[in-house]
Amino acid sequence: MKRLFCLLLLQLPLYAQLTEIDLEVQEDWNRQNNNSENPQPIRPFELYEFDIPPSIIKPVGKVEVEFEINENGEVENPIVIDTFNVELNEVVIDKVKQTKYKPATQNGRPVKVRFKLPIIFQ
């Protein structure tokens, strides 16, 4: 029984190493054969304190915006889905329209995608 236990212990590290190698091979295969990419920000969303209307003192909460990123990486049709203060909606939409993205791709071609952006105020 002790020999069997020792043999199992000796094989465990080899099994773990094979698993790691298999994962690396799988990741490489996915990178080479998965021709889809998510959009990447070029000009990210930026909202400064002076952009917020003075009537809002210390905003705390979450605003969720949904929009499309077209084949050129431009934002289209932004809408506020969830908000804690309606006064912020216009400012947030203006700032979202100013963002720029590297477009999503599928099979090497840029494609239009729908995107959700949660904005958390603390």
Does 13 have pLDDT greater than 60? Answer: no
Three-state secondary-structure class, residue 2: helix
Q: Are 81 and 64 in contact (CB under 8 A)?
A: yes
pLDDT digits (tens, 9 = 90+) for 58-113: 889 999 999 999 999 999 999 999 999 899 999 999 999 999 999 999 888 999 99
Mapping DSSP onto H, E and C, the string for 46-60 reads: CCCHHHCCCCCCCCC
Q: What pTM was estimated for this model as a whole?
A: 0.66
Burial 16-32 (b: 16+ CB within 10 A, else e): eeeeeeeeeeeeeeeee
